[in-house]
Structures are given as C-alpha cells and as structure tokens.
C-alpha cells in the first residue's frame, strides 16, 4: 500500500493563537478550495498569524514574515512543544495577572461587562516593561511576549518603531478556549515540516522552489488602514515590487495566489486593477464574500463595499 504524502492528508481547520489584524481564518473555506492540489512546498510569504500556512496541505511549509518576533515565536512553539504552556502559567503567576476562568471575575472586583483591565493594568505594564527591556532573548523572552498578547487589547500584536511592544492592556485574560487554540497550533507545528524565515519578499530566493511549489501572498493592503500598515508601512513602491515578484514566479512556472482588495470604502487600488487588466490573459481575479466589519478600525458607514479578491495564475 503506497504511503500518503502530507499533501494528501485531510487537515482539521485550526485558528492561530494570535489575533493578527487581517487574519484569513474566516476566509479559509472560500480560499483553500481554490488552492492547487498536491503542493510540495507551500510559501506563506506574509504569514502574519499563519492562519493560512498551518491549514494548507503540503509536504513542506515556509512561514515567512519580516516581523521576526512572529517567526521566532512560531519557532519556539515548535521547538518547545508542550513545555511552552507551563511557561505561560509561570509568567501569569509571577506577575499576578488575572485567571478569571479559575477564580471568576468577583475575585478581582471586576465584572464581565467592564472586563479585567482595572485589575491587570499595572501588572501588564510591568510585564511589558520587563519584556521590552529584556536582554536575554531566549525561550522565556518569547513566553513573555505571548503572555503579553494574551492580556493585550484584542489579543493583538504590535510593536513601535523602536521594536517595543506597545499595545495597552485588554479586557480579557487567558481562558480554556485560548489554551486549546494554542495547544492545537503547537501540535500542528510539531506534526509537519515547517520552516520559518523573516525575509523581505524581494530577498526571497525563488530558485529554491520547484514546479509543485505554491506561493501565497497576503501583503498589507495599500488602500486600507490597519496596525500593520501605519506609519508608511506599505507604499506604492512596495506594491509595484510585489507585483513584479509575482510576475517572476509566473515566468518560472510557479503557481501563486494573491489576497488583496481592489476597492474599499470609496478608495480603489489603481495599481492592482491596472495590473490585473494588463495580465487578464494570465491571471484570474476571483471575488470573495467577506468584509472586516469586526475590525477595531471604525468607519462611519460599515455598509460601504470592500471588494476583496484572490488573484491566481493557474
């Protein structure tokens, strides 16, 4: 009986333990069936929270992001495995952060409506300062980072220009659902061939890929506002360079898919629209049915259409 390749084994859809802005978990049922079958090397070029990367059937997956805090955190999840969870518990105890699932809200003189921020704020800021000033960049350092994420605003991850974690304390804390999500994510990383890199996409060597490779690009969106696209984080030059990179993939017979938006809240990405029109004989634009109305970036009219698409070359 022939052995099944990893790319032939069904995967349970799991969610990243990081609430990364623009994460694609809710879109997975739409985009995964559009991906090619029998992928040898899958590249999640802007992996973010890795919701896509950990749910794709492949023999090898490369999770790449310029934010090395992400890729090093993922690497630590894989290397430490089950030994990571006790580290989180240790840090929660050390900084006396709340454990409402264990003690309840009344124990901290808080309630579920207003949240736990009044109790956790000073303790969270102490942990944040210790993390930002840490010189020992090892396993414990990244366990501190993940604990910060657990107790931060909306469980998100954000760093300032100095590389310091700068989100404020959030309303919630570590609970059983989050623990199970983390455990499944760690099990997935341990169970497959995952590699981690933090290259600018322009530095990614496509000669390491083969004809059965597949590159998924989910870059910061040029015409939307998000934590990953503040302070000039993604500009028109980046957009042009990425589209040139995708053209190079196509010339080398490497399949790709690009997630992006053509129009959003009265704006349009003319660079992307022009590129798709000029390459309409090579690339297919597939409209997706989803909007990020749960984003903390508020708009006056949430009904304004966001035209989210997947662009493929196969």
Residue 27 has pLDDT above 90, yes or no: yes
Q: How confident is the model at residue 161 (pLDDT cuts 50, 70, 90)?
A: confident
Residue 111 lies in a domain: yes
* Domain at 116, CATH number: 1.10.1020.10
Quote the pLDDT of residue 265.
85
- State the average pLDDT over residues 36-41: 97
Q: What pLDDT band is residue 291 in, cutting at 50, 70 and 90?
A: low
Residues 204 and 58 in one domain: yes
Check pLDDT > 90 for residue 46.
Answer: yes
Q: State whether 46 and 10 are in the same domain.
A: yes
Contact 86/139 with Cβ under 8 angstroms?
no
Question: For residue range 80-115, what is the model confidence (pLDDT) as tens digits?
Answer: 999 999 999 999 999 999 999 999 999 999 998 889
DSSP string, 92-137: HHHTT---HHHH-SGGGT-BTTTBSHHHHHHHHHHHHHHHHT----
* Contact predicate 18/49, CB 8 Å: yes
Residues 56 and 105 in one domain: no
**With 50 as the cut, is the pLDDT of residue 294 above it?**
no
Of 9-13, 232-236, 253-257, the least confident: 9-13
Does residue 193 belong to any structural domain of this protein?
no
Give yes or no for residue 280 having a pLDDT over 90: yes
* Mean pLDDT computed over 152-160: 91
- Mean per-residue pLDDT, 135-146: 93
Mean pLDDT of 292-297: 42
CATH number, domain at 55?
3.40.50.150
How big is the CA angle at 13 (ends 10 and 15), to the nearest 5 degrees? 150
Taking the CB of residue 213, how many other CB atoms lie within 10 A of it?
Answer: 23
Q: Is pLDDT of 241 > 90?
A: yes
At residue 86, the pLDDT reads 96
The alpha carbon dihedral of 224, 230, 234, 236 has a sign of positive
- Pairwise CA distance, residues 170 & 118, whole Å: 10
Question: Which of 7 and 247 is assigned the larger pLDDT?
Answer: 247
Give the lowest-confidence range in 74-83, 225-234, 273-282. Answer: 225-234
Q: Are residues 83 and 48 in the same domain?
A: no
Give the pLDDT score at 228. 47
**Residue 187 belongs to some domain of the structure:** no
The answer as to whether 12 is a domain residue is yes
Note down the domain range covering 154. Answer: 72-181
What CA–CA distances, in Å, run from 121 to 111, 116, 139, 156, 171? 15, 8, 24, 16, 10
Q: 90 to each of 85, 183, 228, 293, 305, how far by Cα in Å?
A: 9, 17, 30, 36, 46
Tally of domains in the chain: 2
Residues 29 and 108 grouped into a single domain: no
Kindly state whether residues 219 and 306 are assigned to the same domain: yes
Distances (CA, A) of 28 to 100, 185, 254: 31, 16, 22
State residue 305's pLDDT score: 77
In the predicted model, what is the mean pLDDT of residues 187-199?
Answer: 96
Q: Is residue 158 part of a domain?
A: yes
Q: Are residues 55 and 80 located together in one domain of the fold?
A: no
Six-digit token string for 57: 């059937």
Residues 19 and 86 both lie in one domain: no
- Using the predicted structure, report yes or no on whether residue 287 has a pLDDT greater than 60: yes
Query: What rounded mean pLDDT belongs to the chain?
Result: 90
Instruction: Summarize the confidence of residues 190-217 as an average pLDDT.
Output: 96
**pLDDT on residue 9:** 53
Closest CA to 221 of 266, 255, 262: 262
Residues 140 and 160 in one domain: yes
Domain-located, residue 188: no
pLDDT over 90 at 224, yes or no:
no
Residues 35 and 51 in one domain: yes
Distance of alpha carbon 177 from its chain centroid, rounded? 19
Which pLDDT band holds residue 295 (cuts at 50, 70, 90)? very low
Q: Which helix (H) or strand (E) holds 308?
A: strand 306-312
| Same domain as 208, residue 174 | no
DSSP annotation of 39: E
* Cα 45 to Cα 62: distance, rounded to the nearest angstrom: 8
- Residue 265 included in any domain: yes
Q: HEC profile for 253-281?
A: CCEEEEEEEEEECCEECHHHHHHHHHCCC
Q: What confidence score (pLDDT) does residue 22 get?
A: 78
Please check whether residue 80 lies inside any domain of the structure: yes
- pLDDT at site 223: 86
The pLDDT, as a whole number, for residue 225 is 57
Q: How confident is the model at residue 54 (pLDDT cuts 50, 70, 90)?
A: very high
Tell whether 229 and 289 lie within a shared domain.
Answer: yes
> Which tokens go with 12?
């349970």
């Amino acid at each position: 009986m022939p052995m099944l390749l990893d790319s032939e084994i069904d995967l349970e859809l799991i969610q990243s333990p990081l609430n990364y802005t623009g994460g694609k978990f809710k879109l997975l049922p739409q985009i995964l069936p559009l991906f090619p079958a029998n992928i040898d090397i899958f590249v999640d070029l802007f992996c973010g929270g890795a919701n896509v990367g950990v749910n794709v059937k492949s023999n090898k997956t490369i999770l790449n992001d310029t934010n090395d805090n992400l890729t090093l955190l993922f690497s630590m999840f894989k290397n430490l495995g089950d030994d990571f969870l006790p580290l989180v518990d240790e840090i929660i105890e050390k900084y006396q952060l709340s454990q409402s699932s264990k003690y309840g809200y009344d124990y901290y003189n808080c309630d579920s409506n207003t949240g736990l921020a009044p109790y956790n704020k000073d303790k969270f800021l102490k942990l944040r300062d210790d993390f930002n000033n840490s010189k020992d960049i090892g396993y414990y350092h990244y366990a501190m980072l993940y604990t910060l994420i657990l107790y931060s605003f909306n469980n998100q991850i954000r760093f300032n220009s100095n590389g310091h974690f700068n989100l404020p304390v959030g309303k919630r804390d570590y609970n059983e659902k989050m623990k199970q999500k983390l455990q499944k994510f760690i099990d997935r990383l341990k169970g497959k061939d995952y590699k981690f890199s933090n290259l600018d996409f322009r530095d990614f060597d496509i000669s390491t890929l083969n004809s059965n490779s597949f590159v998924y690009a989910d870059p910061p969106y040029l015409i939307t506002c998000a934590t990953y696209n503040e302070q000039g984080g993604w500009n028109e030059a980046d957009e042009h360079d990425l589209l040139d990179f995708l053209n190079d993939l196509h010339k080398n017979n490497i399949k790709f898919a690009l997630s992006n938006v053509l129009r959003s809240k009265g704006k349009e990405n003319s660079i992307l629209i022009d590129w798709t029109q000029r390459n309409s004989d090579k690339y297919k634009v597939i409209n997706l049915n989803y909007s990020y109305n749960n984003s903390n970036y508020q708009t006056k009219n949430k009904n304004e259409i966001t035209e989210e698409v997947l662009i493929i070359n196969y």
